[in-house]
Structure formats: C-alpha cells, structure tokens
Amino acid sequence: MDQPVGFIEEGKEHMVCKLKKSIYGLKQASRQWYLKFNDTITSFGFKENIVDRYIYLKVSGSKFIFLILYVDEILLATNDLGLLSETKKFLSNNFEMKDMSEAYYVIGIEIFCNRSQGLLGLSQKAYINKVLERFRMDKCSTSPVPIQKGDKFSLMQCPKNELERKQMENIPYASIVGSLMYAQTCTIPDISFAFGMLGRYQSNPGLDHWKAAKKVLRYL
C-alpha cells in the first residue's frame, strides 16, 4: 500500500508499505476472515462440509452441532444444550460476539418451531410480500399454480421488431426473475420449473414471458 500522508519517510518516497495484517474493507479482508475463522473452528473439532462451504459439523458421541456461517453471522443448531453452551463459550473467547439467543429470522428467512408437535419450518412470507409490493402485485388476484398445462414458452414470443423491444424496455422482467431465484432456492422449490423456463428469456423477454412471470407472483 502507498505510504499514508504524514507518514512518508524522507528519501524513501518511492517505497510502499508491506501489509502484515488485513484491514477491514480491503478486497482481501473477507478471504482472511474466512481463513481465520476456519482455522479456529476446526481446531475445536468442527469439520467443514466440502459440498456446501461455510457449514460445519461437530459430532461427540450421540451429540452433534451444526454451525452455519454467513459473512459474520453464525447460526447454531444442536440436539444438546451442553454442547451448545460449550460452543458459544469457545466462540466468545476467540471472537468479539453477541449472543442473540434463539433464532427467529436469518437472512430474511423466518424460522418457526412448535416443540409440542415436533415441527420446525422456514418461511419467506415477509420477503415475498416485499417483492409483491415492489412490483405492485400485492393486491393482485391469486393463482392456484405457478405454471399449468398449456402454458408455452418459445423464442417466437420474443420481440421481433424495434417497437416491441421498446415496449419491453421499462418492464422489470430480469428483476422479477432474480427475486424469484432467492425464494425458490430457499423455501419454495415448487416454482423451480417455472423459474427455469422464465430465466431462459432474460436477454430478450416478450409480453407473454412477462405475463407468465406475473402469474408466478400471483401464485406466491
């Protein structure tokens, strides 16, 4: 890095500083944070999931605990309160952290549970409502399915002339498809087929594709 103003050594103006420790905000900071966290947590007996990184598991006999890392937020799930307390203590000894107690919302996903019935579920109701409001579909009529027999998608439905392309310029088709992706990835896999079909026409969507996208929103 360049020598900071006020700290430039006379006669060594052409020299630069060697960065020995990563600084928050620099492009390599996130990588250094991951390496630091990974080394620390694996030393405690956690093993990283090689398929889905940032998910760790520790097993001790019949006890187990999952640790999910999202940037600098941590979600813990376990079948033993003692192991949970032990893990929290280890983390607080190694990192400056705040215990937010039982999780109810994580990255826009609501977690709800009913211990008496043994139920655990995830919901993106708040996210979906926000998407519907953003695209002015919060008061639309509902649809029983996101896609049905007879719905067709083809390149023939794409704009064929400048007038039709101009008509689609101010329609946020790509934004809707992007918003649907987060929902179908996390909690609503039943729109995956419709999402996949709509995604094929992002570069040049037509009015029929736009109507199909709104139909998925009506289903949500």
Q: Is the pLDDT of residue 202 over 90?
A: no
Q: Please list the residues that pair with 68 across neighbouring strands.
A: 55, 75
What's the rounded Cα separation, in Å, for the pair 194 and 217?
11
Q: Is the pLDDT of residue 163 over 90?
A: no
Mean residue pLDDT of the chain comes to 89
pLDDT tens figures, 49-92 = 988 888 999 999 999 999 999 888 899 999 999 999 999 999 99
Q: Is the pLDDT of residue 32 over 80?
A: yes
Terminal Cα distance for the chain, rounded: 50
| Confidence label for 113 from pLDDT (cuts 50, 70 and 90) | confident
Q: Is the pLDDT of residue 1 over 80?
A: no
Closest CA to 122 of 49, 65, 189, 70: 189
